[in-house]
């Protein structure tokens, strides 16, 4: 059974940092591209970042470019999102999702990031 | 970026009756490989999104056959043939033809 489990969310002050993790099971991570998608409270879905299976292609939304870094450790079957210089508008539930073979075919339960003083 | 526009944004439906959601893209979603990467996602209250339909009309694993997708080019539709209580939630269309992948605003389906 494919499972994605996010962790690392929490309350952080503006300007602070957090590192999110996504542990994959039920499939071998190293053959799939992966993404982070976020959802602000009461709002819709927003793509944040994507990484190819070999990490050779990495993409970011303009809203997080220069502040967030996506990475993966295929040996640990894990995906990461390092978030620096956090702002109030980054407050959201962050989901990891598998990009293939069907776009966003599996999602984790999400981890809540709250940026507030 | 491709803009996805859904209508209606809210859809009160009677149990057992059909529901329909439209999605329009700001440009054609036909990929250079000939495929059209238009998907529909369901998000039940308090749950993560779940893939329902991919490539316009293909139901994902475990999705009931009361859900169907249709359309082409820039205009797409999700239909629920007979709404059940478990169908309450927000439905999103999304495109994966051109990076960045983008989502519609979401359509809230609720029971009258």
> What tens digit of pLDDT does each residue of B11-64 get?
999 999 999 999 999 999 999 999 999 999 999 999 999 999 999 999 999 999
Q: How far apart are the first and last CA of chain B?
A: 36
- Taking the C-alpha atoms of residue B102 and residue A38, their distance in angstroms, rounded to an integer, is 12
> Of A21-25, A82-86, A108-112, B98-102, which range is least confident?
B98-102
Q: Has residue A114 got a pLDDT over 90?
A: yes
Q: Report yes or no: A61 at the B interface, CB cutoff 8 Å.
A: yes
Q: Has residue A2 got a pLDDT over 90?
A: yes
Tell me whether residues A47 and B102 touch, CB distance under 8 A: yes
Interstrand relation of B107-111 and B102-103 (parallel, antiparallel or unpaired): unpaired
Q: Report yes or no: A102 at the B interface, CB cutoff 8 Å.
A: yes
Taking contacts as CB-CB distances below 8 angstroms, the residues of chain A near B48 are: 95, 107-110
Q: Has residue A101 got a pLDDT over 90?
A: no
Tokens of B6: 């859904």
Tell me whether residues B39 and A102 touch, CB distance under 8 A: yes
pLDDT at position A100 is 83
Interstrand relation of B19-25 and B75-80 (parallel, antiparallel or unpaired): antiparallel
Q: How far apart are the first and last CA of chain A?
A: 40
What contacts A34, CB < 8 A, 6 or more positions away? A22, A50, A51, A72, A79, A96, A97, A98, A99
Instruction: Please report the number of interchain residue pairs, chain A to chain B, with beta-carbon separation below 8 angstroms.
Output: 54
* A71-83: average pLDDT: 96
Q: Has residue B99 got a pLDDT over 90?
A: no
**Percentage above 70 pLDDT, chain A:** 100
Q: Which among A37, A61, A102 is the nearest to B51, CB-wise?
A: A102
């Amino acid at each position: 059974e494919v499972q994605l489990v996010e962790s690392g969310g929490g309350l952080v002050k503006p300007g602070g940092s957090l590192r999110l993790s996504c542990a994959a099971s039920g499939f071998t991570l190293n053959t799939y591209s992966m993404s982070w998608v976020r959802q602000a409270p009461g709002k819709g879905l927003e793509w944040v970042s994507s990484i190819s299976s070999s990490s050779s292609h990495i993409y970011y939304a303009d809203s997080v470019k220069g502040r967030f870094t996506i990475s993966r450790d295929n040996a640990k079957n894990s995906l990461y999102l390092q978030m620096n210089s956090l702002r109030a508008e980054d407050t959201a539930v962050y989901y990891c999702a598998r990009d293939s073979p069907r776009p966003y075919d599996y999602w984790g339960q999400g981890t809540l990031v709250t940026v507030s003083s | 970026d491709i803009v996805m526009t859904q209508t209606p944004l809210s859809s009160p439906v009677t149990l057992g009756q059909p529901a329909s959601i439209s999605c329009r893209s700001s440009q054609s979603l036909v990929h250079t490989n000939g495929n059209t990467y238009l998907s529909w996602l369901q998000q039940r209250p308090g749950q993560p999104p779940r893939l329902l339909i991919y490539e316009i009309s293909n139901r994902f694993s475990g999705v009931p056959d009361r859900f169907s997708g249709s359309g082409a080019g820039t205009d797409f539709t999700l239909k629920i043939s007979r709404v059940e209580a478990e169908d309450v939630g927000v439905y999103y269309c999304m495109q994966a033809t051109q990076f960045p992948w983008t989502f519609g605003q979401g359509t809230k389906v609720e029971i009258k």
